[in-house]
Amino acid sequence: MSVTSTCDVAVVGGGVIGCAIGYRLAKSGLSVEIIERDGIASHASGNAYGGLYATFGPGIPGPALAVAKKSSELHEQLDPEIESVSDIDTEFRPSRSIDVAMDEAALKEVNANADWWESEDLPVERLSAESILEMEPLVTPNIVGGVRHLSHYEVDSYKLTLALATAFERHGGVIRSGNVVSLVTPGEVTLESGSAISAPVRIICSGPWAGANEIAGIPNLPIRPVKGEIIRLSFPGDDFSHRVVNGRPYIARKPDGLVWIGTTDEEAGFDETASASARDSILAGALDLAPALESAVIEQHTACLRPTSADGLPVVGQVDDGLYVANGAGSKGILYSHMIAEWIADSVLENADSIPTEFAVSRFL
Ligand SMILES: Cc1cc2nc3c(=O)[nH]c(=O)nc-3n(C[C@H](O)[C@H](O)[C@H](O)COP(=O)(O)OP(=O)(O)OC[C@H]3O[C@@H](n4cnc5c(N)ncnc54)[C@H](O)[C@@H]3O)c2cc1C
């Protein structure tokens, strides 16, 4: 096998996790290559909603709460830095989400959640149906009340990943197009093309494909794809500047002017096609919440795969000498990206283990 290049660190996968890790390590002075077979941000990292929320998700409330809060703080610190290095606006901004309730039972649940959010220093504002309708007049008058989040932020996930990749390159990082097929030889990454990269540190950030046994020499990890779909609508006006959420269905206008509605969770293997059934269920949820959207025009319908671990939490850490995994971020990978990058950087640069046990790959080895 001819070695085509040599670097300190090879990162397999150019999604948000691979790019965040690449950025950290290149900034610290290491020579780093990201190897991506399809295109930077061409899967979940380029099509996610981009919500940065510590208020819900796997392990919340529970072991993931503190990590989610810290992850959100890291975005506040680092996204402006990445924007300035890359000259790309990530659209990092406060997200004014409102959880609405359609009946008294749902309102009781939202208010009970509000109690624990406040107790965890995740501020909210309790709102009457009238005040929600004043802010968002196109929401159905069937709502009985809700809660507005004051701790939520969001980004454009595609622009964040692109900004991380660009900032990575500006710190000397190299992005290589290629399909990694083997990590069997210690200190080497083998591509389908037959070329090899020599790198003492190799980091697997291949998203849901990490569990598919496509790369020889990586441990068997319980990571699977969970399909999610989002529809973008054109709907003139400035309604839905608040992200309005009714349990799962949500409606939100993004800075691109389009109204995004979502989403679905489906076990469909590696199928990334946008389906008619998901379109119908997303539209039904949105129209239930805001019947006026009936006149909206569908501009884009995307489907992609959340890399999801057996317990729903990320899977991070060293699995062999110089071989690392950073994967399984599921529905929170945009939020956790900087945090996971920090854990990997601590390990690679300082030989320090800062990964909480609930997130450590050792739980599955
Ligand atoms: C509908 C939807 C909405 C979401 N909304 C949010 C949200 O609001 N907030 C949030 O925090 N998260 C959200 N997520 C989750 C988030 O998108 C993912 O957790 C995150 O993008 C995962 O990033 P990744 O880098 O691990 O994987 P990916 O983005 O899948 O990237 C992995 C990359 O590895 C490459 N690759 C794989 N195998 C190889 C190989 N052998 N050789 C070379 N390259 C390879 C792939 O081509 C791919 O580009 C959402 C996800 C979905 C589906």
Mean per-residue pLDDT for 40-46? 98
* 293-339 pLDDT tens trace: 999 999 999 999 999 999 999 999 999 999 999 999 999 999 999 99
Local structure of residue 170 (DSSP, 8 states): H
Domains in the chain with CATH codes: 3-89+156-222+312-364 (3.50.50.60), 97-151 (3.30.9.10), 223-309 (3.30.9.10)
Q: Does 155 contact ligand 1 (Cβ within 6 A)?
A: no
What's the confidence (pLDDT) of residue 4? 84
**Whole-Å CA distances, 109 to 56, 59, 266, 358:** 13, 18, 25, 27
* Cα of 307 from ligand 1 centre, angstroms: 6
What's the confidence (pLDDT) of residue 1? 59
Strand partners for 225: 307
Has residue 13 got a pLDDT over 70? yes
> How many other CB atoms are found less than 10 A from the CB of residue 42?
17
**Distance of alpha carbon 279 from alpha carbon 91, whole angstroms:** 26
Name the percent of the chain lying above pLDDT 70. Answer: 100
Mean per-residue pLDDT for 38-51? 98
* Cα of 14 from ligand 1 centre, angstroms: 9
Q: Does 38 contact ligand 1 (Cβ within 6 A)?
A: yes
Q: How confident is the model at residue 78 (pLDDT cuts 50, 70, 90)?
A: very high
**Cα Rg of the chain (Å, integer):** 21
**Distance of alpha carbon 301 from alpha carbon 115, whole angstroms:** 36
Q: Against a cut of 0.95, is the pTM above it?
A: yes
Q: Does 48 contact ligand 1 (Cβ within 6 A)?
A: yes
Tell how strand 243-245 and strand 223-234 pair up: unpaired
Has residue 130 got a pLDDT over 70? yes
Which among 168, 170, 158, 182 has a CA at the least distance from the CA of 12?
182
What's the confidence (pLDDT) of residue 208? 98
Local structure of residue 334 (DSSP, 8 states): H
Q: In this structure, what token pair is assigned to residue 340?
A: 């996971």
What's the confidence (pLDDT) of residue 3? 79
All residues at 6 or more sequence positions from 244 whose CB lies less than 8 Å from its CB, including other chains: 97, 98, 100, 136, 139, 250, 251, 252, 289, 290
Atom 31, ligand 1: which residue's CA is nearest? 15
**Distance of alpha carbon 220 from alpha carbon 146, whole angstroms:** 44
Full DSSP string of 138-165: TS-TT--EEEEESS-EE--HHHHHHHHH
Mean per-residue pLDDT for 281-291? 98
User: Do residues 15 and 333 touch, judged by C-beta distance below 8 A?
Assistant: yes
What's the confidence (pLDDT) of residue 2? 72
Mean pLDDT of all residues in the chain? 97
Strand partners for 175: 34
Q: Does 206 contact ligand 1 (Cβ within 6 A)?
A: yes
Q: How confident is the model at residue 91 (pLDDT cuts 50, 70, 90)?
A: very high
> How many other CB atoms are found less than 10 A from the CB of residue 100?
28
All residues at 6 or more sequence positions from 55 whose CB lies less than 8 Å from its CB, including other chains: 113, 117, 122, 149, 151, 152
**Distance of alpha carbon 344 from alpha carbon 361, whole angstroms:** 12
* 214-232 pLDDT tens trace: 999 999 999 999 999 999 9
Which among 176, 200, 195, 166 has a CA at the least distance from the CA of 86?
166
Has residue 161 got a pLDDT over 70? yes
Which among 325, 289, 345 has a CA at the least distance from the CA of 101?
289
Strand partners for 111: none
Mean per-residue pLDDT for 194-211? 97
* Cα of 50 from ligand 1 centre, angstroms: 11
Has residue 126 got a pLDDT over 70? yes
All residues at 6 or more sequence positions from 129 whose CB lies less than 8 Å from its CB, including other chains: 141, 143, 144, 145, 146
Full DSSP string of 58-103: TTBTTTTHHHHHHHHHHHHHHHHHHHHHHT-----EE--EEEEESS
